[in-house]
Amino acid sequence: MSVEVFVSIAENINEVRSRITAAALRAGRKDLEAIKLLAVTKTVEIGPMEEALAAGISCFGENRVQELVRKAPYFTQEIEWHLIGHLQTNKVKQAVNQAALIHSLDSVKLAQVISESAKAQELRVPVLVQVNVSGEESKFGLEPQEVLDFLQEIAHYPGISVKGLMTMAPRVADPEEARPVFRGLAELSKQIRQRDLPEVSMQWLSMGMSNDFEIAVEEGANLVRVGSGIFGPRR
Ligand SMILES: *Cc1c(COP(=O)(O)O)cnc(C)c1O
Question: How far apart, in whole angstroms, are the C-alpha atoms of residue 71 and residue 125?
Answer: 20
Q: pLDDT-derived band of residue 47, with 50, 70 and 90 as boundaries? A: very high
Ligand 1 in contact with 227 (CB < 6 A)? yes
Ligand 1 in contact with 42 (CB < 6 A)? yes
Task: Assess contact for 79 and 60: CB atoms under 8 A.
Answer: yes
Q: Is the pLDDT of residue 4 over 60?
A: no
Angle between helices 108-120 and 147-154 (to 10 degrees): 30
Ligand 1 in contact with 84 (CB < 6 A)? yes
Task: Assess contact for 39 and 55: CB atoms under 8 A.
Answer: no
Ligand 1 in contact with 39 (CB < 6 A)? no
Calculate the average pLDDT of the chain.
Answer: 95
Question: How far apart, in whole angstroms, are the C-alpha atoms of residue 220 and residue 205?
Answer: 7
Task: Assess contact for 62 and 85: CB atoms under 8 A.
Answer: yes
Give the Cβ contact number of residue 214 at 10 Å: 21
Q: What DSSP state is assigned to residue 82?
A: E
Q: pLDDT-derived band of residue 87, with 50, 70 and 90 as boundaries? A: very high
What confidence score (pLDDT) does residue 9 get?
96
What confidence score (pLDDT) does residue 31 get?
92
Question: How far apart, in whole angstroms, are the C-alpha atoms of residue 177 and residue 169?
Answer: 9
Q: How far is CA 50 from CA 37, 44, 209, in A?
A: 16, 11, 21
Question: How far apart, in whole angstroms, are the C-alpha atoms of residue 102 and residue 230?
Answer: 21
Question: How far apart, in whole angstroms, are the C-alpha atoms of residue 192 and residue 142?
Answer: 14
| CA 141 to ligand 1 center in whole angstroms | 15
Q: Is the pLDDT of residue 1 over 60?
A: no
pLDDT tens column, 183-234: 999 999 999 999 999 999 999 999 999 999 999 999 999 999 999 999 999 8
| CA 40 to ligand 1 center in whole angstroms | 6
* Residues linked to residue 63 through DSSP beta bridges, in sequence order: none
pLDDT tens column, 133-191: 999 988 899 999 999 999 999 999 999 999 999 999 999 999 999 999 999 999 999 99
Atom of ligand 1 nearest to the CA of 103: 13
Atom of ligand 1 nearest to the CA of 211: 7
Region 64-78: mean pLDDT is 96
Ligand 1 in contact with 220 (CB < 6 A)? no
What confidence score (pLDDT) does residue 7 get?
75
Q: Is the pLDDT of residue 3 over 90?
A: no
Q: What DSSP state is assigned to residue 142?
A: B
Which protein residue's CA is at the shortest distance from atom 7 of ligand 1? Answer: 210
